[in-house]
């Protein structure tokens, strides 16, 4: 998945990040019924991309969080009632959005230094967020009562919530274009043929009952063949040397 490629690559696939993030942005106005897992991954991606260390790691990283924010805005603008799970996840993470809104270079450097010290001392990072059980004195009675609601009740409430008078007039959908770089083409071909190979070994593969056969070359076999060839060359050279000396 796109989340796995970005979250688990640790920057190794950074050249693909803009195209992958724009892909999420382009399809966001049409996404419906996102699961709780998918919603959590989107918010986890937002948390990673809005972190000061990530924003300052490269001069173009701020564009990635802009694209992701645009995707979340599209989901709220066009598919609010169809994605109550995502809306709930955003509400629970509202402090992360607030910190991004208040982002400054000085605060970012302080946060990065705090994270570095915590990593070196292997201590958990201090969070400015309130504990889950803490109650904000300014919280309304309705918000306090919502703590006693089940997840299903909250989702149902958000699904039926009308936000017509809250959100601005829907803006036109913008398609973000990107250039097909060599790394992106290689990744896409690998993914495409990987999916084709998986489909081919199923009972309903597109090439079943045909003469088309998909295969892959094992790297281990290649290395063994190269080692055998290298050993053969070494043996031949040694044999020739012994004959010459004789």
Q: 144: buried, middle or exposed (CB in 10 Å: 19+, 13-18, 0-12)?
A: exposed
Task: Note whether residue 208 is domain-resident.
Answer: yes
**Cα(first)–Cα(last) distance of the chain, in Å?**
65
**Cα angle 131-137-76, degrees, rounded to a multiple of 5:** 70
- pLDDT tens across 140-182, in order? 455 545 567 898 999 999 999 888 778 888 888 999 988 888 8
Residue among 100, 123, 114, 119 nearest 48 (CA): 100
In a domain, 236, yes or no: no
Q: How many residues are listed for the chain in this entry?
A: 246
Domain enclosing residue 186, as ranges: 180-216
* Domain membership flag for residue 82: yes
Residue scoring higher pLDDT (162 or 5):
162
On the CB side of 230, CA atoms within 13 Å amount to: 6
More confident of the two residues 124 and 78: 78
Q: Check whether 130 has a pLDDT greater than 80.
A: no
DSSP-based three-state secondary structure for 168: coil
What total of structural domains would you count in the chain?
Answer: 2
Residues 108 and 79 in one domain: yes
Express each pLDDT in 182-232 by its tens digit: 888 887 888 787 777 777 666 666 666 776 666 555 555 555 666 666 666
In this structure, the answer to whether residues 86 and 116 fall within a common structural domain is yes
Structure tokens at 45: 């991606």
Decide: helix, strand or coil at residue 218. Answer: coil
**Average pLDDT in the 112-132 region?**
64
> Would residue 145 count as lying in a domain?
no
Domain-embedded: residue 134: no
Res 213: pLDDT: 65
């Amino acid at each position: 998945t796109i989340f796995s490629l970005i979250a688990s690559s640790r920057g190794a696939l950074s050249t693909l990040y803009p195209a992958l993030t724009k892909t999420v942005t382009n399809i966001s106005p049409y996404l419906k019924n996102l699961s709780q897992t998918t919603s959590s991954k989107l918010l986890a991606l937002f948390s990673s991309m809005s972190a000061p260390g990530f924003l300052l790691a490269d001069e173009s990283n701020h564009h990635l969080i802009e694209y992701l924010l645009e995707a979340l805005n599209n989901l709220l603008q066009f598919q609010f009632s169809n994605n109550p799970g995502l809306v709930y996840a955003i509400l629970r993470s509202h402090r992360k959005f607030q910190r991004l809104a208040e982002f400054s270079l000085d605060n970012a450097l302080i946060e990065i230094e705090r994270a570095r010290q915590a990593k070196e001392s292997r201590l958990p990072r201090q969070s400015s967020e309130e504990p889950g059980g803490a109650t904000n004195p300014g919280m309304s009675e309705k918000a306090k009562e919502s703590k006693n609601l089940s997840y299903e009740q909250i989702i149902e409430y958000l699904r039926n919530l009308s936000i017509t008078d809250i959100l601005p007039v829907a803006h036109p959908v913008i398609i973000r274009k990107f250039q097909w770089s060599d790394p992106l083409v290689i990744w896409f071909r690998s993914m495409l043929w990987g999916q084709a190979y998986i489909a081919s070994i199923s009972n309903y593969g597109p090439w079943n009952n045909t003469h088309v056969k998909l295969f892959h070359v094992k790297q281990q076999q290649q290395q063994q063949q190269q080692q055998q060839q290298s050993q053969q060359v070494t043996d031949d050279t040694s044999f020739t040397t012994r004959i010459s000396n004789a």
